[in-house]
């Protein structure tokens, strides 16, 4: 069982939680906790062994904790995801390989593309692919079709694996903090399109990638994971794109591992991430 708690901090919270879990004969095998002193906010992730009535545990914890406590109990670690793509295959291929060998930590329910280019790749892994074109449609019509397809799936998260379309506030609001995006830049630098060209023109010595939750603010959602690599004056924009694709795969894989293992807490526009 994985137990996630976020609430106002106060003295004795860990003891309070441990007492409730002990009452249900649960054994704590892992505990990670953090206090954001500036905001007086407590975050904790417990892993416990033992069977129990999860609803009763949650009720008792909510009663014992501060009134603003958010308590999530997730006895099933195997999540389901929907992946959205455009034409670039590098992030999708990495996800499909991990899915095939059961190392993703989730099951890919389907892939949705606004171009048909990656249908064959999905077919090779026996993963359903839905082609939904954005052409000759209003944004509302296009996103309506996307949402109809997504909502026909049972899923925990939506993954934008190089889905190169800006989503509307209405779409984002339908899946709050459930959509993970990979951006080809070390945010907040080079927000928006063509970040490698912008990085080249700026003459930077580092490029990177950022995985974040999607919000209404373009590329400014809570950051889950980031990495950088060194570049130099010999790198052309094409060289940066090639190097960037490798780091994009790595960062997205890391972010998904963290999210799918329930290691990420969101508070305001920041995250608390328990990596181990």
Q: Could you tell me the CATH number of the domain that includes residue 120? A: 3.40.50.170
Q: Up-side HSE of residue 27: CA atoms within 13 Å toward CB?
A: 3
The answer on 229 and 95 residing in a single domain is: yes
Q: Up-side HSE of residue 135: CA atoms within 13 Å toward CB?
A: 7
DSSP the chain: -EEEEEEE--TTHHHHHHHHHHHTTPEEEEEEEEEETTTTEEEEEEEEES---HHHHHHHHHHHS-TT-EEEEE----EEEEEEESS--HHHHHHHHHHHTT-SSEEEEEEEESSSTTHHHHHHTT--EEE---TTS-HHHHHHHHHHHHHTS--SEEEESS--SPPPHHHHHHSTT-EEEEESS-TTTT-SS-HHHHHHHHT-SEEEEEEEE--SSTT-SPEEEEEEEE--TT--HHHHHHHHHHHHHHHHHHHHHHHHTT-EEEETTEEEE---
pLDDT at 51: 74
The answer on 83 and 70 residing in a single domain is: no
pLDDT at 235: 85
pLDDT at 240: 80
The answer on 84 and 53 residing in a single domain is: no
Is the Cβ–Cβ distance between 182 and 206 less than 8 Å? no
Among 74, 97, 119, the domain-final residue is: 74
Convert the pLDDT of each residue in 132-176 to its tens digit: 999 999 999 999 999 999 999 999 999 999 999 999 999 999 999
Residue 196 confidence (pLDDT) above 80: no
The answer on 140 and 206 residing in a single domain is: yes
Between 241 and 133, whose confidence is greater?
Answer: 133
Within its chain, how far is the Cα of 85 from the centroid? 15
The answer on 98 and 49 residing in a single domain is: no
Among 22, 50, 74, the domain-final residue is: 74
The answer on 51 and 157 residing in a single domain is: no
The answer on 90 and 213 residing in a single domain is: yes
What is the spatial order of strands in the sheet that 106-113 belongs to? 129-131, 106-113, 79-85, 157-160, 179-183, 206-213, 223-230
The answer on 174 and 43 residing in a single domain is: no
Reading the block at residue 125, the tokens are: 């892994």
Q: Which residues are catalytic?
A: 219
Specify which of 93-97, 163-167, 232-236 reaches the highest per-range mean pLDDT.
93-97
Residue 217 buriedness (CB in 10 A; 0-12 / 13-18 / 19+)? exposed
Overall number of domains in the chain: 2
Residue 74 confidence (pLDDT) above 70: yes
Among 25, 54, 74, the domain-final residue is: 74
Domain containing residue 266:
79-273
The answer on 43 and 146 residing in a single domain is: no
Q: What integer is the mean pLDDT of 15-37?
A: 96
The answer on 12 and 116 residing in a single domain is: no
pLDDT at 188: 59
Is the Cβ–Cβ distance between 118 and 85 less than 8 Å? yes
CATH code of the domain in which 46 resides: 3.30.70.260
The answer on 142 and 30 residing in a single domain is: no
Q: CA-to-CA distance for 192 and 206, rounded, in angstroms?
A: 18
What percent of the chain has pLDDT above 70? 96
Crossing angle of helices 54-64 and 13-23, in 10° steps, is: 150
Residue 190 confidence (pLDDT) above 70: no
The answer on 269 and 235 residing in a single domain is: yes
Beta 157-160 vs 79-85: how paired, if at all? Answer: parallel
Whole-prediction pTM: 0.90
């Amino acid at each position: 069982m994985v137990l996630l708690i976020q609430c106002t901090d106060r003295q004795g919270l860990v003891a309070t939680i441990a007492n409730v879990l002990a009452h249900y004969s649960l054994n704590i095998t892992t505990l990670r906790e953090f206090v954001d002193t500036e905001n007086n906010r407590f975050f904790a992730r417990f892993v416990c062994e033992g069977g129990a009535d999860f609803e009763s545990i949650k009720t008792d914890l909510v009663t014992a904790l501060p009134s603003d406590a958010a308590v999530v109990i997730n006895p099933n670690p195997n999540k389901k995801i929907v992946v959205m793509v455009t034409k670039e295959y590098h992030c999708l291929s990495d996800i499909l390989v991990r899915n095939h060998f059961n190392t993703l930590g989730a099951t890919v329910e389907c892939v949705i593309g606004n171009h048909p280019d990656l249908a064959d790749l999905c077919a090779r892994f026996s993963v359903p692919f839905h082609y939904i074109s954005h052409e000759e449609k209003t944004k509302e019509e296009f996103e309506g079709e996307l949402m109809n397809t997504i909502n026909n799936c049972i899923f925990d998260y939506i993954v934008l694996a190089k889905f190169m379309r800006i989503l509307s506030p209405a779409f984002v609001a339908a899946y709050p903090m459930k959509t993970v995006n990979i951006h080809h830049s070390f945010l907040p630098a080079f927000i928006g399109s063509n970040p490698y060209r912008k990085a080249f023109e700026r003459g930077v010595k580092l490029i990177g990638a950022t995985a974040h939750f999607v919000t209404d603010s373009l590329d400014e959602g809570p950051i889950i994971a980031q990495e950088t690599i060194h570049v130099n004056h010999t790198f052309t924009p094409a060289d940066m794109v090639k190097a960037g694709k490798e780091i994009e795969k790595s960062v997205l894989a890391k972010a998904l591992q963290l999210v799918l293992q329930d290691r990420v807490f969101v508070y305001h526009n920041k995250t608390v991430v328990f990596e181990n």
